[in-house]
């Protein structure tokens, strides 16, 4: 959990979301019968982070981590919406995470276009070929169409 706090402190969005995913995976790998039982429910995030840092797995810590995952997932969808409207400067870290995940580089020219590093990946198969521009080995896609394809994927 210290890594999560450090990721927030240094504003490392990628580190934060990867750590949350790792915490979720750790919770899912343990059988629910092995979760420690606590009679009362706490909504105190500090208590949950303290328990997670001590590697104690409770139903409540699972709910807490799941809530963090949900918040970040919704933030990614909101940033994809801003990418469609070409207003993505305010959530640059999230957009950078999406570009990295999907293997895309941003190209600033008259239009905001995305350079596809690997045009044969699975998510590209669902993009209408009319929106992809090919010039020799370079394939580009308008940022709005990338956002739509990423959301569907």
Q: Compute the average pLDDT of residues 37-62.
A: 63
**Which residue did the predictor score with more confidence, 10 or 28?**
28
**Which residue did the predictor score with more confidence, 112 or 128?**
128
What is the per-residue pLDDT for 116? Answer: 92
Q: Compute the average pLDDT of residues 126-133.
A: 88
Mean pLDDT of the chain: 77
**Which residue did the predictor score with more confidence, 56 or 142?**
142
Q: 14 and 100 in contact (C-beta within 8 Å)?
A: yes
Write the DSSP symbol of residue 118.
-
User: 6 pLDDT band (50/70/90 cuts)?
Assistant: low
Residues 6+ apart with CB under 8 A from 96: 13, 14
User: 81 pLDDT band (50/70/90 cuts)?
Assistant: confident
Q: Where are the domains of the chain?
A: 2-76, 103-152
Q: Compute the average pLDDT of residues 10-17.
A: 72
- pLDDT reading at 27 higher than 60: yes
Count the neighbouring beta carbons within 10 Å of the beta carbon of residue 91.
Answer: 20
- pLDDT reading at 122 higher than 80: yes
- pLDDT reading at 10 higher than 60: no
């Amino acid at each position: 959990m210290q890594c999560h706090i450090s990721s927030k402190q240094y504003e490392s969005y990628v580190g934060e979301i990867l750590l949350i995913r790792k915490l979720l995976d750790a919770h899912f790998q343990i059988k629910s019968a092995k979760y420690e039982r606590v009679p009362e429910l706490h909504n105190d995030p500090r208590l949950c982070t303290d328990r997670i840092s001590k590697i104690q797995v409770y139903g409540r810590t699972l709910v807490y981590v799941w809530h963090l995952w949900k918040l970040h997932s919704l933030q990614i969808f909101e940033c994809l919406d801003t990418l469609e409207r070409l207003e993505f400067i305010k959530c640059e870290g999230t957009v950078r995470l999406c570009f990295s995940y999907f293997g895309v580089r941003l190209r600033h020219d008259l239009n905001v276009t995305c350079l596809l590093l690997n045009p044969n990946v699975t998510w590209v198969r669902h993009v209408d070929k009319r929106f992809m521009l090919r010039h020799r080995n370079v394939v580009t896609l308008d940022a709005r169409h990338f956002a739509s394809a990423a959301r569907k994927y």
